[in-house]
Amino acid sequence: MNIWKQFPLTSILLLVLFTAPRATATEQTFYVSPQGNDSWSGTLAAPNADQNDGPWATLAGARDGVRKYQEGRSKEAAKLPQSLVVLIRQGTYRLTGPLRFSPQDSGTRETPITYRAYPHEQPVLDGGRPITGWRQEGPLWVTEIADVQAGNWRFSSLWANGRRCQPARTPNPAHPWGDDPAPGDTFHAVGPVPEAPVPESTASETSTPEKSKTKGKRPNSKTRFRYRPEDLGNFKSLDDAVVVVYHSWATSLLRIKGLDKKNRIVEFTGPARWPFGKWQPDQRYYIEQTLAALDAPGEWYLNRKTGRLSYWPREGEVLGQTRIVAPVAGQLLLLEGSPSQDQFVEHLSWEGLTFRHTEYPIGPKGHSDSQAAFAVSAAIETNGARHCNFRDCTLAALGNHAIWFRSGSQDCSIARCELVDLGAGGVRIGEGRSPRTGQEAVLRNVVDNCFIHEGGRIFRSAVGVWIGRASDNRVTHNEIRNFRYTGVSVGWSWGYAPSSAKGNLIAANHIHHIGLGQLNDMGGIYTLGISPGTVLRDNVIHDVISHPRLYGGWGLYTDEGSTDILLENNLVYNTTTGGFHQHYGRDNRVVNNIFAFSHGPQIIRSREEPHNSFFFERNIVYYDNGQLLGSTWKNGNWTIDHNCYWDTSGKPLKLAGRTWQQWQAEGHDKHSRVADPRFVAPKQGDFHLQKDSPALSLGFVPWEYDQAGLIGEPEWVKRAK
């Protein structure tokens, strides 16, 4: 089933945007080439015989040339429809900072401007710098970088022949990047350290009824914890070190201020977001970027004082033939409108381009985010962008998020793009606060048919697609996999406060291998706050695996205050602790879904509230462990009926401590059945129903769940296989 059949207007708009031929009277074409010159006309695809005219040499030169062309058109000519296309020839275009486009660089509806790869060529906009001058010293390759020694360059990432390299780490993980962790992958804190006591005079002056209840208690420190001497006590130097500390749903990346070896306390230069020991006293952590940890192929270490870079090559890499790159640019492309002043960047498109290599530094005070790598920038950011589009692009080898549609971005899109090897997340839409004016609202943006994978390589709490305080956006037919936290996050409001996030559609996405055993409190799709009109539909979600020592690897997760959301026709299976979990919220509708094979309870409700939590109707719940309902089901404030339940283990059915008869006597599941739904081959991932399924008589309506994920040309769809 094509999801756009349910949204015909949006479908028509996208088809017009991406596939319809230009209904323009003329088309003006310009060219960019590494063999060009920004002083030339840009109207030739290659330099002429006299070497006095030809293509432009840089994207900045092309931007300026198009601007001059637009300004030079007569008023009469400007009224004529004319598309402007800048064709970019094969080559690497190096950037040390972002390309900037302002409102004066805009196209119009009648005169759109497209920056497009030349046919059958693959130009690259590269924010990296090749590292040269390598020599062999034992098993290592080493070189000195003068700009680092002079304090002019710091980098947190390195790539060899296009593969991201691991900063020298101890303990070494059992699997790359610490995924599917083994017990020996991390050190463990001995325990937290209390904050310094508040002086009596200060405590009495600032006391409140709430504070008086905890008088005499000292909260755990955010900058210190106790360590085992064998973990930290033997390093000669930790000057460059970054300590990666796991909390529940995030990590902190901290720098060491000093060690109190007598009391075995480590102190950091800046605070973590949460007190140490909040979830576990023996908190997990490991150390990166210290020479003593450089002990495995693919690892590297940069001495920031001397500028000496050391790398342990992988098998097959040859000195002098291996291309090693470090990032220079923090961002690659900025669209800089000013929504508050009604100034927008409009009708620009980028097609077929590769954006590669960015840096996001870990500063002197370290880095610690509350959730979703919220404070981290993106390689491409739009502010006040209208009708700006990215199609058939690749965003790869980044130190931060890939793309962020920020304040005032409306009717923009990213379609059929690959976002891969990301330091943080894939796509971000909106801000963390509600817009102050309509001009600042983030609305009607589209993420369609994109392959978003291998994210959270540095900032593990990053998300495949994140929607903040933004509305009426569409996230459809994407493949999202291999993130260490959540697949798609919708809304950014805790509790029942008003929110500007509403009407978002998350549909027909294939979201899988999320969490990878590293973090907790995650969802394949995660929602926050009041969000009327938001729909989660036709998604396939599986293999959402949280770290086993804590909690929370759910398929569909309606978190704090999630309200008025429709969750229908979703297939969810193989999750750590539940196919569906509602922390708290109101009147969400969970309808016509399949939930299967959670390793713990299948359906979880975490808070008793005085209103109806959700409607749970016409779902199939299929499991094999005797655990159907989890957490709290006491006050009866939920609506549940016409469901089909089946436990293949044969254990007696229990529903929050009740028998089936007791459960129904309380008014729940009056028309539901305990029966085998007769899937074709559920253990092999085939959840199609056979014709005699009892679920059909309960009103369950099958849908074409195997249409989730990438669509279009076979070679594009196969990329995710």
The pLDDT of residue 587: 98
CA dihedral (67, 70, 73, 79) in degrees, to 10, reads: -170
The torsion angles phi and psi of 171, rounded to 5 degrees, stand at: -70, 155
Q: Does the pLDDT at position 18 exceed 70?
A: no
Q: Give percent of the chain above pLDDT 90.
A: 90
For the segment 528-542, what is each residue's pLDDT rounded down to a tens digit?
A: 999 999 999 999 999
CA distances from 582 to 503, 524, 549, 590 (A): 19, 13, 21, 11
Mean pLDDT of the region 468-472: 98
Compute the distance between CA of residue 298 and CA of residue 18 in angstroms, rounded to an integer.
41
The pLDDT assigned to 567 comes to: 98
pLDDT tens digits for range 327-342: 999 999 999 999 999 9
CA dist., res. 155 & res. 600, Å (int):
42
Structure confidence by residue, pLDDT tens digits, 585-596? 999 999 999 999
Helix (H) or strand (E) holding 455: none
pLDDT per residue as tens digits for the range 399-442: 999 999 999 999 999 999 999 999 999 999 999 999 999 999 99
CA distance 623 to 642: 18
Task: Give pTM, 2 decimals.
Answer: 0.94
- pLDDT at residue 7, as a whole number: 44
Mean pLDDT, all residues of the chain? 93
Quote the pLDDT of residue 216: 61
* Phi-psi sector, 431: left (phi>0), alpha (psi -120 to 50), beta: beta
Report CA 471 to chain centroid distance, whole Å: 18
Instruction: Specify which residues 367 forms β-bridges with.
Output: 253
Q: Which pair of tokens denotes residue 415? A: 């379609």
Residue 1 has pLDDT above 60, yes or no: no
CA 262 to chain centre: 42
pLDDT band at 8 (very low <50, low <70, confident <90, very high): very low
Two structure tokens written together for 125: 């906009």
- Cα gap 192→278, rounded to integer Å: 9
Strand runs (DSSP E) across 98-168, as ranges? Answer: 99-101, 113-117, 124-126, 128-130, 135-137, 140-144, 159-160, 163-164, 166-167
**121-170 tens-digit pLDDT:** 999 999 999 999 999 999 999 999 999 999 999 999 999 999 999 999 99
Please give the pLDDT value at position 5.
44
Residue 433 in tokens: 């606060």
Classified as helix, coil or strand, 522 is strand
Q: What is the pLDDT of residue 721?
A: 82
187-228 pLDDT, tens digit per residue, is: 999 999 999 775 555 444 444 444 444 456 789 999 999 999
Strand partners, 626: none
pLDDT in tens, 673-687: 999 999 999 999 999
Are 147 and 307 within 8 A, CB to CB?
yes
d(CA 718, CA 721): 5
